[in-house]
Structure formats: C-alpha cells, structure tokens
Amino acid sequence: MTEDATVTAGPSPHRHTFAPAKIAGKFQGKHIISVDQFAKDDLEILFDATKSIRKRSRQHDRGLTEIAAGRVMASLFYESSTRTDMSFQAAMRRLGGDVIAASNGVRFSSVYKGENLADTVRAAGCYADVIVLRHPQVGSSYEAAYFLDKLNQRIDKRTVVVSGGDGVGEHPTQALLDLFTIIDSKGALDHQSITLVGDLKNGRTVHSLSKLIAYYRPKGTRLNMVAPETLRMPESIIAMLTDLDVEIHETEALDDVLGESDVLYWTRIQEERFANKEAYDAIKDHFIMVPELLDQAPKNAVLMHPLPRKHEMGTVEDHEGLDADPRSIYFEQMENGMFVRMALLAKVLREAYV
C-alpha cells in the first residue's frame, strides 16, 4: 500500500485501548473513526442532513458556505487516495471552510524526519479544527484521537479527527456513503436483497458496510455473500449480523443470487490471494462484472462499486458498456460520498447548522 517502510509498522495499540464515543444523537466535537459509533438514529440524522445538503448544493445555495466559514481542515494523507482526498476537500470547501495540507505531501515531511504520528497529529491539531487522516497503519485513527484528546486538555481548542481509512482496518465514511446510496436509490433498506461480491475476507469496505447495515436494524433484509471459499466473510462479522437479525446467504456462485438481487455491491479479488494461478483461474469468471453478466440482473437492481475499479469490471470496453447501463450507480455513489462528508463535517463542526 505504501512505498515508505517507515510508516508500515504493526497495528497501533490504541486500536484496542481507545474507545471512541458513541454518537448517540450528538455529533459535534466527536472523533469519527469507526462505524461502531453509529446507531440507527444517528444514521437517520446524518442521511437527512445529507439529502438536505445535496439539494441545497444543487441549487447553489450560498448559505451552505456559512456552515464551516472560518474553520480549517487539515488533510493528512500518509498514503494516496485521490478520490477520498478530493472528496473531503471539496466537501469542506463547499461548506465555506478552508483546507491545509503539507505542500510536498506528508509522506516526505515529518515522517521522513522520523517524527511519530502522535506529534504530527498534534501539530495539525494546533492549526486546524478537523483533521482528515489516511494512514496505512491499522488503528492509526484511534491513536490520533487519543493524542488529540490529550492536546485538547492543554490548548483552548477542540480538534477532531475523521478517519479517511487506516490500512486494512476501517474506512467509516466509505461505509456511510455506501449505505446512504443503497437507501437513497432503493427508497429503503427494509426487504432488500443485497449481494456483496469479491474478496469478503480482506475487503475493508464490505466489512464496514455489513456492520453498518446491521446497526441500521433493517426488517426482512438479506445479505448475500458471494466469495470463493478461501475468501469468505470472517465468522465474527457473520455472527454479529445474525445476532442482529440480518438474514445471511453465503455462496461461491453468483448465479445462486444474481436474479433476486436488489443491490449488487462489487469489489475486487486479487490474484495474489490465491495459492496458485490455477486456483484463481478456476473461480475468477464468477467475479468479473461485464455487461453480459449485468444483463442477467433484475431490471430494477443497482450496481455499486467503491472504486477505483480494475480488471474486476473487465476491459475498458466493458467499463463503457457498464457505464451506459442505467442500473450502474457507482458515479452517483461517488458523488454521494461528497454530500455525506459535507453532512458529517457540518455536524461535527457546528451541529446546529444543518
């Protein structure tokens, strides 16, 4: 994930010792580092704010730029993620806020000089009101939150961290925008058949989305998990979903569930996860979405993808074919990402305004 060996240490111990506050109806001043902070009421508040902001944004409502006016967001991306990075920046800008970032990228600066994350985050915390952190180390956003809380005891200022993804750990805003897009496109989460496809063992996005679906406590919703035997969804997540009354259907064959899927959530399978090329070749055709495969999905299904996409959506020609299908909503999903992040930043910075 990164070329810089100095930042690829093991997971941060703070992942296990620091517990972020539950939202519980109040966003302002809270770090946003895990989907575990959200209950159904919180999601409904956030998604209502998202819809309102999207509508006002499309009307070029200049009042939006009052929400974060005078506030500063520091963008600390220790690994590149153009999409998440620009989405957060655009969100802050469209709320009238400002963005700062190291001119040469953060990879080449404090880290290069050997400073630890704790001190860099506190530097940013002195200058900014919110820090968006992307870091290859699992648990880094917990560590950032822990040290910002320490800083906030010393200086007259409350700075929060919003996770932009930490290694193979969590990426909560991706899960929030995914769930928002499902509900927004289907009208509700209840009674949907949602099919997750790809590497469900290692895929950060499908783990967080599954949890968030469960926290929303839908009625009559079924999660179809389509993955090779060796890349199945972890047992702990399956157990949690079952406990929260989400119906689970695990299979290796997309055909089992394609015809009944209301939502297709497509992700990547990486060849290097397999013991040998034969093992990969044996299953790969079930996991490449192409126009001919989408033709077999229901007429009112939607096709989602967290992007970026590569060979799991075939060739460049296949991309064009899929893009032309009205069921493909991954670009709308991406645009929703900006609106969800606008709502989240607005709530975290100035609750009352949205």
Residues that bind its own copies (CB under 8 A): 58, 60, 62, 64-65, 69-70, 72, 74-77, 79-83, 85-87, 89-90, 93-94, 98-110, 112-116, 118-120, 122-124, 126-128, 150-151, 154-157, 307-310, 316, 319, 323, 331-332, 334-335, 337-338
As measured in angstroms, the least distance from the Cβ of 115 to its own copies is 4
C-alpha separations of 149 from 19, 21, 28, 133, 160 in Å: 12, 12, 14, 15, 8
> Is residue 171 annotated as a catalytic residue, yes or no?
yes
Q: Which residues contact 297 (CB under 8 A, 6 or more apart)?
A: 258, 259, 261, 264, 303, 327
As measured in angstroms, the least distance from the Cβ of 328 to its own copies is 9
Which CB atom, from 118 or from 248, has the smaller least distance to its own copies? 118
- How many angstroms separate the CA atoms of 255 and 273, rounded? 23
Which CB atom, from 62 or from 219, has the smaller least distance to its own copies? 62
As measured in angstroms, the least distance from the Cβ of 171 to its own copies is 15
From its phi and psi, is residue 242 left (phi > 0), alpha (psi between -120 and 50) or beta?
alpha
Task: Find the catalytic residue in 51, 56, 71, 83.
Answer: 83
Task: Find the catalytic residue in 171, 286, 305, 350.
Answer: 171
Using alpha carbons, select from 98, 95, 99 the residue that is nearest to residue 57: 95
> Is residue 134 annotated as a catalytic residue, yes or no?
yes
Structure tokens at 256: 């089992």
Which CB atom, from 24 or from 307, has the smaller least distance to its own copies? 307
> Is residue 158 annotated as a catalytic residue, yes or no?
no
- How many angstroms separate the CA atoms of 340 and 48, rounded? 10
Task: Find the catalytic residue in 134, 222, 305, 347.
Answer: 134
As measured in angstroms, the least distance from the Cβ of 352 to its own copies is 14
Angle, helices 330-349/40-58, rounded to nearest 10 degrees: 110
Using alpha carbons, select from 40, 22, 18 the residue that is nearest to residue 30: 22
How many residues comprise the chain?
354
As measured in angstroms, the least distance from the Cβ of 344 to its own copies is 15
Which CB atom, from 154 or from 219, has the smaller least distance to its own copies? 154
* Amino acid, single-letter form, for residue 133: L
- How many angstroms separate the CA atoms of 308 and 320, rounded? 15
Q: Which residues contact 146 (CB under 8 A, 6 or more apart)?
A: 14, 17, 18
Which CB atom, from 89 or from 195, has the smaller least distance to its own copies? 89
Token pair 């015809």: residue: 259
Q: Which helix (H) or strand (E) holds 297?
A: none
> Is residue 219 annotated as a catalytic residue, yes or no?
no
Which CB atom, from 99 or from 238, has the smaller least distance to its own copies? 99
Task: Find the catalytic residue in 58, 60, 62, 113.
Answer: 113
Rounded to the nearest 5°, which phi and psi values hold at 273? Answer: -80, -10
As measured in angstroms, the least distance from the Cβ of 222 to its own copies is 28
As measured in angstroms, the least distance from the Cβ of 83 to its own copies is 5
Q: Which residues contact 220 (CB under 8 A, 6 or more apart)?
A: 190, 191, 247
> Is residue 267 annotated as a catalytic residue, yes or no?
no
Which CB atom, from 65 or from 230, has the smaller least distance to its own copies? 65
Task: Please list the active-site residues.
Answer: 83-84, 113, 134, 171
